[in-house]
Amino acid sequence: MTTARTTIDFDKIGKQIGFVDIPHSPHEDAWGATRIPLAVISNGRGPTVILEAGNHGDEYEGPITLGELVRELDPGQVSGRIIFLPAVNTPAVDAGRRTSPVDGLNLNRTFPGDPGGTITQQISAYVSSVIMPLGDAFVDLHSGGSSLNILPSAIIEPAADPALRRRNIDAVLAFGAPLTVVIDNLGEPRTSTATAVRAGLVTIGTEMAGAGTVSLEALDICRRGVRNVLAHFGVLDGATASPPARPDAILHIPGHDGYVLATTAGVFEPFHPLGARVEAGQQAGRIHNLIDPSRTPEIVHYGASGIVYGRRQPGRVVAGNCCITVAAPYTGDIS
């Protein structure tokens, strides 16, 4: 049983903007609450689409896009219901960090959560047990954050059920991003999108650039894409959508071989820009030890062929950091 509460009435017609309050009693505030922004716009008949951003606090295009929509949309433009969680991991968003400064947890590795756990676990529990059961579709807006810069793309979360898989693919293609990529996080079940798929929701993810900044290109793609998806579900008039350009191919990250990890500590020098075509075994870059000029830089290599999809943003690395991500043509079932 969750202790979270909200003054939002999910069944009420019109626009409501408020908060989910989760009781929180740290040293500084005996009887306080962590406040998660929540908005609902509802009108007429139609599906419910859940729009989430701020899952990681250093990813900015999604929260900007959803904040604009909350302010701009009139209920008369909506057929159905939109539930907005524009800064769902509020402590991390406030801190501009991937993980919460309250408990150190990554929200996107805590689903379906624990209503009796830490703040991060309580947030994911509220989304899983209260918000997701209200929805027909779930959109989770991400970027690479402060540690990665990723080619702007819409993400397919794999689904075992063929019918749901087809609906997911159709919705992701409707988003209209330049790239479409299948990402299963190496089978990680604790993400919001994996949880949404298990709940039977049509699920759309994104990766909108990153590098700890706001990308104008990615923000434009995100703004158009969210409206495209809402039009795809009939929640907004299709006349407001931009016709999506169907990608030449659907890509995926080919398992562990798709990640180039640092083998030592130092400063990573990449050899290729984002979007470059590379081959398995090819040199991906080298790691310099700046305080020992006698030490030869250590070379790292690609484990898979494809394109450079994501690249580490900070120069400094320690062993195990992700330096490069490669995306390759997807050969799985998309029927």
- Domain boundary residue, one of 201, 230, 252: 252
Q: Which helix (H) or strand (E) holds 311?
A: strand 306-312
- In the structure, what pLDDT confidence band is assigned to residue 106 with cuts at 50, 70 and 90? very high
User: Is 98:106 a contact under the CB 8 Å cutoff?
Assistant: yes
Tens digit of pLDDT for each residue in 159-207?
Answer: 999 999 999 999 999 999 999 999 998 889 999 999 999 999 999 999 9
| 236 & 272 share domain | no
Pick the closest to residue 207 from 34, 327, 87 (CA basis): 327
Please state the domain count of the chain: 2
Find the domain containing 77 and state its range.
Answer: 5-252
pLDDT in tens, 285-322: 999 999 998 999 999 999 999 999 999 999 999 999 99
Question: Which helix (H) or strand (E) element contains residue 227?
Answer: helix 216-232
Residues with Cβ within 8 Å of residue 160, at least 6 apart in sequence: none
pLDDT at position 240 over 80? no
pLDDT of residue 244: 61
**CA 280, CA 307: separation in Å to the nearest integer?**
11
Mean pLDDT of the chain: 94
Q: What is the mean pLDDT of residues 143-172?
A: 95
Domain boundary among 232, 252, 272: 252
DSSP labels for 112-175?
T--TTS-HHHHHHHHIIIIIGGG-SEEEEE---TTTEEEEEEEEEPP-SSHHHHHHHHHHHHHH
pLDDT at 328 over 80: yes
Whether residue 269 is found in the same domain as residue 289: yes
Q: What is the CA radius of gyration of the chain?
A: 20
Q: What amino acid occupies position 13?
A: I
User: pLDDT band at residue 335, thresholds of 50, 70 and 90?
Assistant: low
Q: Is 216 left (phi over 0), alpha (psi -120 to 50) or beta?
A: alpha
Contact 37, 54 (CB under 8 A): no
Rounded distance between C-alpha atoms, residue 297 and residue 36, angstroms: 46
Q: What pLDDT is recorded for position 279? A: 98
169 and 313 within one domain: no
Looking at residue 241, its pLDDT comes to 72
Residue 226: pLDDT over 80: yes
End position of a domain, from candidates 206, 232, 252: 252
Could you tell me the CATH number of the domain that includes residue 134? 3.40.630.10
Same domain, 157 and 227: yes
The DSSP 8-state label assigned to residue 247 in this structure reads P
The verdict on 97 and 204 lying in the same domain is yes
In this structure, the answer to whether residues 279 and 317 fall within a common structural domain is yes
My answer on whether 230 and 284 are in the same domain is no
Q: Which amino acid is at 215?
A: S
**Is the predicted pLDDT of residue 22 greater than 80, yes or no?**
yes
Same-domain check for residues 92 and 223: yes
Does one domain contain both 160 and 102?
yes
